[in-house]
Structure 1
Amino acid sequence: MRKIRISNCEPGMLLGRAIYNGSVILLESGAVLSRQYIDRLKELGVSEVYIEDDISDDLKINDAVNEATRREAVAFIKESMENYTSMQLLNSAEAIEIVNRIIEEILSSDDIIVNLMDIKTCDTYTYSHCVNVCILSIITGIKLNLGTVQLKELGVGALLHDIGKLMIPTDILMKKAALSSEEYDIIKEHSQHGYNILNRLPLISETSARVALEHHERFDGKGYPNGLRKDEIHLFSRIVAVTDIFDALTSNRIYREKISTNQAIEYLTFMAAPTLDASVLSCFVQIIPPFPIGTGVILNNGEKGVVITINRNYPTRPVVRLVFNADGSQKEFYEEINLAETSNYTIINNAELIR
């Protein structure tokens, strides 16, 4: 199984992973893509899909959590944000139950390196984003040696960090053009709205509610809503600040296209680093392989291949299955090369493997 852009899909390709619109399934795993299916997925803002072919049919990509758990979490966020009224509190017990299940599944995994396999549509970005941020935050918290109680508080805060957006007018939240300064000020109010909503819930701790309030605060004091600096920002909020940026960068938005995992890591490490907690960022980049399994890559000699194994100690130097020669011709026999065992080859960029 490997991921390719929807623009490069051709009728007859075999879908390697089911595609959902929120909690509603669009296409089952194993479906044969038709031109109609491909065009409809484009309309829904799906930019990539997983396919099965002879290049990658033996590759197994394990998500950080069970697909059923992920879908339930997305459905919960969607239901909570679409049906919220000031007279009806969110189901905090369900949120806690979902987070507990996510923690159990992550802790039972043999490998903490992350492969996030979620395929988002533009319409359901907010819901899937909340779940991804929750998963990434919990894994980062584990790497930081947080205890179980702390992980639960962190997870709940991360899952509900954007809940305040339900108070923002949809025409501003979904605007395709650049926001005016007045509209941006309204967007920024979601942090305080989120805190106010969560602070009313009997089962949600003050610490979890602070995540909603502080996840846009920055180490240099230039964040919002209160311009907090460094340790004035709770550790959980500092964790979510990192995971929130990463998932936003690697997701298609109405106003811009996603960037690759390695580009997002580079941005966090070099551009955003002064505004983030260095210890949190250091742990985070250790759990995110810059070139996940199933990613197409191009080497410095011009050959193209697909990542088939991550080297934990050398995440930038995975095992690559070489598929295409430098002249673009397909190899008669695929070769596998462990970049951690040679200095002759390096990955210079992502690449789409299209025959």
Structure 2
Amino acid sequence: MRLVAVSSIQENVFLAENVLNSKGQVLLKSGAKLTSPILQRLQSLGITYVYIEDGRTDDIYIRPVLAEGTRREAISVMSEAFNQVKKDLSAGSTKFNLHKTEKRFAAVVRDIISQIKERKEAIDLLTHLYAHDDYIFTHSLNVTIYTLALSMRLKNLTAKQTEEIGLGAMLHDIGKMMIPASILKKPSRLTNDEFDLIKKHTELGFELLRKEHGLPLTTAHCALQHHERLNGSGYPRGLKGNEIHVFGKILGIADVYDAVTSNRVYRKAMLPHEGMEILYAGSGTEFETAYIEMFRKAIVMYPTGLTVWLNDGRKGIVSGQNEYVSDRPILLILEEEGSNLDVPYKVNMAVETTLFITETDTTLSAI
């Protein structure tokens, strides 16, 4: 299978992987012929990339990060908790009761940790392959996965702290339930007043979560500090350096990365290596350099199925990943010296150390 941009596909090729909504429900089954109306529908749903069938790449397989049951339960518990906040607000209440879902949140976090532990390869989470029914829930789950993938590589965090930051990640945006949907989903540029209102979600979430006695106080600090930056340019308090809790520093990286690699109403998703460039641009000024380096090892830089070019001119498709060296994948070489190969062959960049990727097919010419 190959990863291609929906906008560049010519009709009548076949889908190789199911297209899902954020709850993991199938919207379009693999094997479906991609006709012009279907392609238009995919674009209207915000699907940027899909996997298509290609006889030369039949052996390429994508392993989901989470079991579908875990994804559904995570979205379900967040939906229940966040919507309860909305309901309480509409009823004029200033008290929110999350105690009914606290145990379910903790169970989901432990389940995600267990599944990440079982993986030997880096996290290959192409969020733009999903149609997002509600961005906040999907974003919160993605941030949780990225946060835990990074946290589990840090030797200074205990198992208990890892669970706590996982809870904080799932709930870090709960304050957005108190922001008008018309502003959260506005497709055009926000006014200064609208942006100031959105920034309040950090403090609103903190005030909500700190009153929940069944949750660690660090969960509330995740909501409060995930937009703080090392140089003091963040919000709400403009904290600097070690004034920011380690959880806030980790969450800040995961939050930004998922934001830029996910579809939004006002821009299309970036590919993983492009998202990493955003983080590196803030290395040492906005984000801890050591955490960025660890995060780079935890996630897939070049997603399986992506077309790439090497420094020696060869063209190939990412066919697999290497543990701990996500920027040096396994490639299936399809072209040499400008000519297609009758018999493609594999190259492991972790072994062929003189090779490096010079270009990726991010525009992905018509198929």
TM over 0.5: yes
Does the CA contact (< 8 Å) of 1:17 and 1:51 recur in 2? no
Which residue number in structure 1 is paired with residue 210 of structure 2? 199
Does the CA contact (< 8 Å) of 2:18 and 2:27 recur in 1? no
1:326/1:161 CA distance change after superposition, 3 Å: farther
Secondary structure at 2:293's aligned position in 1?
A: helix
Which residue number in structure 2 is paired with residue 298 of structure 1? 309
Displacement of 1:33? 3.4
Map Cα deviations across residues 131-152 of structure 1 (whole Å, 9 max, x no partner). Answer: 0110111111110032221111
Displacement of 1:274? 1.1
What amino acid does structure 1 have at the position aligned with 2:286? T
Map Cα deviations across residues 17-59 of structure 1 (whole Å, 9 max, x no partner). Answer: 3421445431234444343332211111111122333232212
**CA distance in 1: counterparts of 2:103 and 2:353, whole angstroms:** 52
Tell me which of 97, 111, 116 is aligned to 1:89.
97
Which residue number in structure 1 is paired with residue 146 of structure 2? 136
Q: Is 1:274 matched up with 2:285?
A: yes
Secondary structure at 1:281's aligned position in 2?
A: helix
Map residues 268-347 of structure 1 onto 2, 5 A cutoff. 268-312=279-323, 314-325=325-336, 327=338, 330-342=340-352, 345-347=355-357
**CA distance in 2: counterparts of 1:273 and 1:125, whole angstroms:** 29
Which residue number in structure 2 is paired with residue 262 of structure 1? 273
**CA distance in 2: counterparts of 1:166 and 1:315, whole angstroms:** 36
Structure possessing the higher relative contact order (Cα contacts under 8 Å, 6 or more residues apart): 2
Which residue number in structure 2 is paired with residue 226 of structure 1? 237
Question: Runs of 5+ in structure 1 lacking a partner?
Answer: none
1:201/1:326 CA distance change after superposition, 3 Å: farther
Which residue number in structure 2 is paired with residue 50 of structure 1? 51
1:72/1:57 CA distance change after superposition, 3 Å: farther
Displacement of 1:96? 1.4
**Quick check: 163-172 or 18-27, which moved more?**
18-27
Which residue number in structure 1 is paired with residue 68 of structure 2? 67
**CA distance in 1: counterparts of 2:349 and 2:227, whole angstroms:** 38
**CA distance in 1: counterparts of 2:170 and 2:2, whole angstroms:** 28
Map residues 1-40 of structure 1 onto 2, 5 A cutoff. 1-9=1-9, 10-40=11-41
Map Cα deviations across residues 215-240 of structure 1 (whole Å, 9 max, x no partner). Answer: 00111112111111122211111110
Displacement of 1:325? 4.9
1:18/1:71 CA distance change after superposition, 3 Å: farther
**CA distance in 2: counterparts of 1:297 and 1:83, whole angstroms:** 46
Secondary structure at 2:50's aligned position in 1?
A: strand
Secondary structure at 1:297's aligned position in 2?
A: strand
Map residues 234-249 of structure 1 onto 2, 5 A cutoff. 234-249=245-260
Secondary structure at 1:144's aligned position in 2?
A: coil
Q: Is 1:76 matched up with 2:70?
A: no
**Quick check: 344-353 or 64-73, which moved more?**
344-353
1:127/1:2 CA distance change after superposition, 3 Å: farther
**CA distance in 1: counterparts of 2:2 and 2:243, whole angstroms:** 43
Question: Runs of 5+ in structure 2 lacking a partner?
Answer: none
**CA distance in 1: counterparts of 2:366 and 2:55, whole angstroms:** 12
Displacement of 1:77? 2.4
What amino acid does structure 2 have at the position aligned with 1:230? G
Which residue number in structure 2 is paired with residue 188 of structure 1? 199
Does the CA contact (< 8 Å) of 1:134 and 1:159 recur in 2? yes
Which residue number in structure 2 is paired with residue 152 of structure 1? 163
What amino acid does structure 1 have at the position aligned with 2:275? A
**CA distance in 1: counterparts of 2:6 and 2:43, whole angstroms:** 7
Q: RMSD over aligned Cα, in angstroms?
A: 2.3
Does the CA contact (< 8 Å) of 1:211 and 1:236 recur in 2? yes
1:83/1:11 CA distance change after superposition, 3 Å: farther
Displacement of 1:6? 1.4
Which residue number in structure 2 is paired with residue 99 of structure 1? 109
What amino acid does structure 1 have at the position aligned with 2:4? I
What amino acid does structure 2 have at the position aligned with 1:5? A
TM-score, structure 1 length as denominator?
Answer: 0.90
Secondary structure at 1:64's aligned position in 2?
A: coil
Give the total of aligned pairs. Answer: 353
